[in-house]
Every structure is written in C-alpha cells, then in structure tokens.
Amino acid sequence: MAKKKAVKFRRRFYGRIGSIPLKVLLFILRLLPLKCLYIVGERTAQLAFRVLKRRRHITLDNLRLALGDEKNEGEILQIYTSMLRNIARGGVEFLSYPRLRNGYFNKMIRIEGREHLDEALKLGKGVVALSVHMGNFPFVPIELARQGYPASVILRYPRLEGMTRYLDDVGDRAGVIIIPDKPSRVCVGQSLKFLKENGVLFVLMDLNVSRGGIYVDFFGRMVPTFKGPVVLAMRTGASILPVFIVREDGNRHRIQIDPPVNLELTGHKETDIFTNLTKLSKIAESYIRKYPDQWWWIHRRWRKARPL
C-alpha cells in the first residue's frame, strides 16, 4: 500500500513539475512565426534524443526489427532522422493550434476519399475512423470537426497535467468530443453511444495494450492489439474506414480516407475478432511501410511480441 502511494505521489509530482516547461513552450509558441518554430522544434527533438539514449535505442531497435530485412543501416538511420523531424514539426503544429486560423487549414490540409465517409454516414450507424500514430494524427478529428462532421476521439491522457488540460482545451476549441480510454467500461459505453448517434469515432489501433488485447501479426511478430475497432463495429453495425494523414511537400497534409473494410462475420465471435483485427493490422502496416518516416517508432510496440 505504501509503495503504491509513493508511486502515485511521484507521478503527480513529476506531472506537475513537467507542466512548467510546457507552459514556457506554449508562451514561446505565441511569439515566434511558425517557420521559425519548425527549426526550433527540430533542433529540440534532435537534442532530446541525444540525451534520452534509452528512447533512441528503442526507436532504432524497432526500425531494425521491422525493416531490417529490407533496409540497410544507412537507410534505417535516414528514416530515423526524418522521423524525428516529422514528429517535431507535428508537435509544433499541434501546440500552435490555438493561434491557427481557418486559412491555415484551408491551405495546408486536403482530404481525399471524403465520399467514402459521406456514403458510410448515410447508413446511419456511425463510422470508426481507424488510424495510427502517423503524421500529424491529432489534426484528423480536428479537421473532420471543422468540416462539420460529428467527431470524437478515444484518447489516452498523458501523465503531464498541463498537457491533459491543453488537450481538453483543444478539444473544446475544435468541437471534438474526447473519450478517455480509462476506465474501459465507461470508454466503451460512451463510444457505443456516439456511434449510435451516427458520429465519427477516431481510433488509434497501434497503442500498446496491457489487458484485453488480441495477438495479431504486425511486421512479422504477434503483438497484443486493441480490439475495440472491431468489437465496436460488430456491436453497432458501424463502418470501419481506414483514415491516415501524411505530410506532403514539407508542411502540407493529406488526409486519406479509404473505402470501408468489409468485415468477415461467421457468427464465431472470437474468431471473427481475430480475423478482422488481423486485416486491420495489415492495412495499418501497409501505410507504415509506404511512409516509414511518418510513423512514431518511438513506442515499445513489440515489447510483448511473440513469434508467428
């Protein structure tokens, strides 16, 4: 009991202390032009990964594990360097959101495949917008809400209290409903309700899962994967649409909405979840392979991996 209290205290303490640099950063973001902020962000990311050696090793190990058979060491290092730059630029853009105006989004973000979303919503059963930590992924629900779609996102809040408040503020400003992923029962209930109201639920399927995940193939390893997208679709009849955002021409973005995924339903629940989750995992993998420097390789996605 005492140990748990000590852990909670440390998390709360560092969560509050860690919010101080965030406040300083947000203040700086209000002062400098976005072009200058890109440079500052990239330099900061490079410095951070030099200091955070463990995180750098995790990232490079992930790249070698997933792409080592098809990429040489030089190519892997190039992907790593470009990934840092893309993460930094995405972070600067997202933290600058309160100062951005419609003109920025009209000019810098375009949507392809919007007709697939419109057709799916005509069915009246909602849409699960399936994605991963690729590109400036927070801009997907923000832009959908800006375009008039009822948008929500399942979110795993960070430990930094300041960042949690910032995320809530962005959600309020953008008109995006945030559904916390914990407690899970409440998350599922709110997600089902939103889909039944014919909303667009943005879900990241590449989160590490501690409980309740299903092991499916991802880059040649079996990894525990969030089964929520399939379960929610099976329970509501909602369409699952792969939705990914990629950075183009430096700082422009393309949101790609693919046709709905046809679920294979045999009546055997667990088998159907596994089959369809495997299909979704392969779709995500195909996008990551196509744009390897735009996915967040920094997470320990293969921490609990098993061989095929």
For the stretch 154-171, pLDDT in tens is: 999 988 888 899 999 999
Residue 41: what residue type? G
In this prediction, residue 207 has a pLDDT band, given cuts at 50, 70 and 90, of confident
Mean of the per-residue pLDDT values of the chain: 91
Residue whose C-alpha is closest to residue 158's, from 176, 181, 139, 130: 181
Q: Which residue has the higher pLDDT, 147 or 27?
A: 147
Q: Of all residues in the chain, what percent carry a pLDDT higher than 70?
A: 91
Contacts of 29 (CB under 8 A, 6+ apart): 37, 92, 95, 96, 99
Q: Which domain holds residue 177?
A: 2-307
Q: How many domains does the chain have?
A: 1
β-pair partners for 128: 201, 240
Helix axes 228-236, 269-290, angle to 10 degrees: 130
> Which DSSP letter does residue 138 get?
T
Q: Of all residues in the chain, what percent carry a pLDDT higher than 90?
A: 76
Contacts of 102 (CB under 8 A, 6+ apart): 146
Going by DSSP bridges, is the β-strand pair 200-204/127-131 parallel, antiparallel, or unpaired?
Answer: parallel
pLDDT of residue 172: 97
pLDDT of residue 150: 98
On the question of pLDDT at 17 being above 50, the answer is no
pLDDT of residue 13: 41
The CA dihedral of 85, 90, 91, 92, to the nearest 10 degrees, is 90
pLDDT of residue 9: 40
Sign of the Cα torsion 112, 284, 253, 243 reads positive
**CATH classification of the domain holding 94:** 3.40.1130
**How do residues 19-34 score in pLDDT, each as one tens digit?**
566 666 666 667 788 8
Q: Are 296 and 84 in contact (CB under 8 A)?
A: no
Mean pLDDT over 301-308 rounds to 92
Going by DSSP bridges, is the β-strand pair 214-218/200-204 parallel, antiparallel, or unpaired?
Answer: unpaired
> Which DSSP letter does residue 250 get?
T
